[in-house]
């Protein structure tokens, strides 16, 4: 509750109730793809995995972080595509648009390196069942890490951080998008939940150090904190690559329970999402009612500024 003594920035608008989802149950596919240096092959390979997943009944398909290019600062400028330019400038997103439309499915297109003017971003495109680009999320938190002898990687050497959270109303529910390192920031997940998300999707490529430590922990934490579904999708592991991905693409339910997962090889995880579980868990354990807004609050800066 805002009191007369509360600072201006703490007077936050109330959380938005999750709207009724357009479907109560559906199948999601997490395509844990092998990624090579051959972009054309990566695109054709991803297309085939999406078609196979749709044939198995998936209505929502999630791809990995950086699925059309090796994950490296040397590769990002070479493989980057201008997603907004049209006219075939982005073969990766053109393929996703075409396959979403022809199969009538929703696709959360992992991420690809995006070129916009003289900047590069790590960008996730969301396509609706009509093949239209519904949203574009540019990774907000760049992955800069230095653990000597284990892993050093500086995305900020080549990439620019996105400036906006991304939440999108699709045929399969209201989905908050993050890319990999974005999952480490609990405020982003809370913000999506406060805006009524049913589901958080994080294409990601944790590595052999952060993977065993944090990958499952963070997904389960985001799901349990916010009492919603969380899905991640990683590239398959290539032990010979410059950056070795952890794999383990996973779907987590609204009690923080792992519903489906895998190891590190190439595969597609298909699992069912049942949105009625969100309401059930929120009535079993009513965190929203128990929250002490008189002691602490999340400030949704965009909603606050938009009045």
Q: Does 181 bind ligand LQR7VSFR (CB under 6 A)?
A: yes
Q: What one-character DSSP code corresponds to residue 236?
A: P
Options 31-39, 126-134, 185-193, 203-211: segment touching ligand LQR7VSFR (CB under 6 A): 203-211
Query: Alpha-carbon distance 18 to 176, whole Å?
Result: 12
Query: What residues are paired with 114 via a beta bridge?
Result: 81, 121
Backbone angles phi, psi at 124, to 5 degrees: -110, 130
Q: Which span sits near ligand LQR7VSFR by CB under 6 A: 13-21, 48-56, 200-208, 265-273?
A: 200-208
Q: Does 207 contact ligand LQR7VSFR by CB under 6 A?
A: yes
User: Among candidates 67, 69, 94, which has minimal Cα distance to 83?
Assistant: 94
Beta bridge partners of 270: 29
Return the number of the residue (160 or 207) whose C-beta is nearest ligand LQR7VSFR.
207
| 33: Cα within 13 Å, side-chain hemisphere | 32
Cβ(250)–Cβ(220) below 8 Å: no
Shortest Cβ 150–ligand LQR7VSFR spacing (Å): 11
**Given 31, 180, 201, 233, the catalytic residue:** 180
Of 23-31, 38-46, 207-215, 234-242, the window that binds ligand LQR7VSFR (rule: CB under 6 A) is 207-215
Indicate if 216 belongs to the active site: no
Tell me the closest approach of the beta carbon of residue 210 to ligand LQR7VSFR, in angstroms. Answer: 3
Q: What is the 3-state secondary structure (H, E, C) of 65-129?
A: CCCCCCCCCCHHHHHCECCCCCCCCCHHHHHHHHHHHHHCCEEECCCEEEEECCEEEEEEEEECC
Tell me which of 65, 114, 155, 216 is the catalytic residue: 65
Length of the chain: 307
Does 206 bind ligand LQR7VSFR (CB under 6 A)? Our answer is yes
* Shortest distance (Å) from residue 77 CB to ligand LQR7VSFR: 17
Q: Is 227 left (phi over 0), alpha (psi -120 to 50) or beta?
A: left
Does 67 engage in binding with ligand LQR7VSFR (CB under 6 A)?
no
Q: Beta partners for 267?
A: 32
Q: Which of 34, 92, 170, 210 binds ligand LQR7VSFR (CB under 6 A)?
A: 210
Residue nearer to ligand LQR7VSFR on the CB measure, 90 or 210: 210
205 binds ligand LQR7VSFR (CB under 6 A): yes
Q: For binding to ligand LQR7VSFR (CB under 6 A), which residues are involved? A: 65, 143, 180-181, 205-207, 210, 214
Q: Which residues are catalytic?
A: 65, 139, 180
């Amino acid at each position: 509750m805002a009191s007369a003594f509360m600072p201006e920035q703490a007077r936050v608008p109330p959380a938005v109730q999750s709207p009724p989802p357009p479907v109560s149950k559906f199948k999601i596919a997490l395509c844990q793809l092998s990624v090579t240096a051959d972009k054309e092959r990566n695109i054709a390979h991803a297309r085939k995995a999406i078609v196979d997943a749709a044939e198995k009944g998936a209505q929502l398909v999630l791809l990995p972080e950086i699925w059309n290019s090796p994950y490296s600062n040397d590769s990002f400028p070479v493989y980057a595509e201008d997603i907004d330019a049209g006219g075939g400038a982005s073969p990766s997103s053109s393929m996703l648009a075409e396959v979403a439309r022809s199969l009538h499915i929703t696709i959360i297109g992992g991420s690809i390196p995006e070129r916009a003017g003289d900047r590069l971003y790590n960008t996730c495109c969301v396509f609706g069942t009509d093949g239209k680009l519904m949203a574009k999320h540019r990774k907000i938190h760049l992955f800069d890490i230095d653990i000597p002898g284990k892993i050093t990687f500086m995305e900020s050497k080549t990439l620019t951080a996105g400036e906006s959270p991304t939440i999108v109303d699709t045929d399969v529910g209201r989905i908050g998008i993050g890319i990999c390192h974005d999952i480490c920031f609990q405020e982003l997940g809370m913000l999506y939940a406060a805006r009524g998300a049913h589901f958080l999707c994080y294409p990601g490529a944790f590595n052999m150090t952060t993977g065993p430590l944090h990958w499952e922990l963070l997904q389960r934490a985001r799901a349990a904190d916010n009492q919603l579904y969380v899905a991640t999708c990683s590239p398959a592991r290539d032990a010979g690559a410059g950056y070795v991905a952890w794999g383990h693409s996973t779907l987590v339910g609204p009690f923080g329970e792992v519903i489906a997962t895998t190891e590190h090889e190439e595969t597609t995880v298909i699992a069912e999402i049942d949105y009625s579980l969100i309401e059930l868990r929120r009535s079993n354990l009513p965190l929203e009612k128990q929250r002490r807004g008189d002691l602490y609050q999340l400030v949704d800066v965009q909603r606050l500024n938009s009045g």
